[in-house]
Structure 1
Amino acid sequence: MIGIIVPAHNEEAVVAQCIESLLIAGEHPGLSGEEVKVVIVLDECSDGTQQVVNRYPVQSVAVAHCNVGRTRAAGAQLLLDQGARWLAFTDADTLVPPTWLVDQLRFRTDAVCGTVRVDDWSLHAEEVRSRYDALYTPVEGHKHVHGANMGVSAQAYRRVGGFKPLTAHEDVHLVADLKEVGASITWTSINCVTTSARLDCRCREGFGDYLRSLSIGAPLEAVG
């Protein structure tokens, strides 16, 4: 079974589109009928995210971590306990392509780090996009890490102990741990996902804060 984990904190406005894209990816004929399970990890949601999620054939679990590392780990553990052999991670404000899972599995490596594209730059000044494009290299062999677009085998994930309980950069630390144990990692732009450039970002020091830092011309270290 393939497991997909999506952390969500007050995402009622966007989570439906995310789930719909995941369900399409999970039905791709290239998966040869392998079961795909999706879990939305509701972290301190006080809006209607749960009600939106309930409309779809996915699982949900409520936590009160306010910690993206612990939240991703909770979803991963739930699916590992259900027999997942592969874990795919994205974010609630992100849309994955129909071939997302197929493209992750095709490389037959321990982990796959994909790229992202921004859906709408209209909330940002033109110089933000220009600075982003100058710093971002969406090519094969890139070294970007995004929690919105990564996959890892259950065996490799267990080997490194999963996500650390970090409020930011949990994805970067997981990949660093995988490299430390010699795991095989593919860095690809083939399975690019589309994500939000919203200003009311949910994770401090995450992708939204990185974009905000570009507006003042002092970019944070590139993050996922």
Structure 2
Amino acid sequence: VATLGLEMWNPDVLGTDPNSMYNILHEQLAIQTFQHLVVAHGYAHMRINLSKIKLSLLQRFYRSYVYSRISAAASSAVIFHIKGKPGQSTKVTKFFRMLDGDRVASNLRLKGKNRKMEHHRVDPETPKDSTLTAMLEAAPIDWFEPEVWNTFTVQERVEYTMGGIKVALPFEEHCDTLAKCTAWKNLPEAEFMERYGNDVLAQYQMPTEAEKAQLLRYAAGEDDEVDPMLMQVDREGLGGAAPGGGEGSGV
């Protein structure tokens, strides 16, 4: 191990690439060590038939053991704490927790060899906030908690809605179980918005046309007097911007 520059034999069993240079090095080290021990009669008590030891067979045995049994044991020992996402609506959080729970339950119903490996995730009562605090570039508007969205500056809301407004989910009482989701998930865009989306959208304060026009004039250098409540950044933020519009569909 030391001659190859490694402090210990420690393959990346939680990764997704057994063929990485790092993992190939560990594989060759393990196989060559086994071959040397066999030749030196280290396994004589097991009466190993040397004529049956082929490199391809050893590679298959190695990968089966390392990336199945050892990987499963390592995954069960690692606990991932789900972090909070500043600004994310509780509706969206509960929706994805519901999907996660259903996926895990479905996976457990499969036979052992067909099960997908799952990380052990824990949703703490008081989660730490994620360090990723930048606004998402493209997400349905109801990803945000309405109270959070309504505190954004007008410029932030204009920039975020320039590509259109999307509503992904109805109110929480319509999407807290998979059975309820079947009532709306395949609806055409217009029907979804009429039955569910417009009520959700009404919680979010949208920039008025007058506010958009004033910001565009400021960006073009035509208006140097802008209400400080409209923006907190410079002209570059609206360079080439056009008023947003249009309503989105459910997902």
Give the strand-richer structure, 1 or 2: 1
| Structure having the higher Rg | 2
Answer 1 or 2: higher relative contact order, Cα 8 Å, separation at least 6: 1
Give the helix-richer structure, 1 or 2: 2
Q: Fold match, TM over 0.5?
A: no
Per the normalisation by structure 2, the TM-score is 0.21
Per the normalisation by structure 1, the TM-score is 0.23
